[in-house]
Amino acid sequence: MSTSTKRSTGGFLPASDPLSLSLDFIEELSKTGIVLSPVEPTDLMVSRGASAGNISPEQAKAVYFAMIALSN
Measured in degrees and rounded to the nearest 5, phi and psi for residue 65 equal -65, -35
pLDDT for res 3 = 47
CB atoms within 10 A of CB 25: 11
- Bridge partner list, 29: none
For residue 7, pLDDT beyond 60: no
* Contact (CB, 8 A) for 2 and 15: yes
- Bridge partner list, 4: 14
pLDDT for res 50 = 98
pLDDT for res 36 = 84
pLDDT digits (tens, 9 = 90+) for 13-57: 566 688 888 989 999 999 998 888 899 999 999 999 999 999 999
End-to-end alpha carbon distance in the chain = 28
Domain layout of the chain by residue ranges: 1-36, 38-72
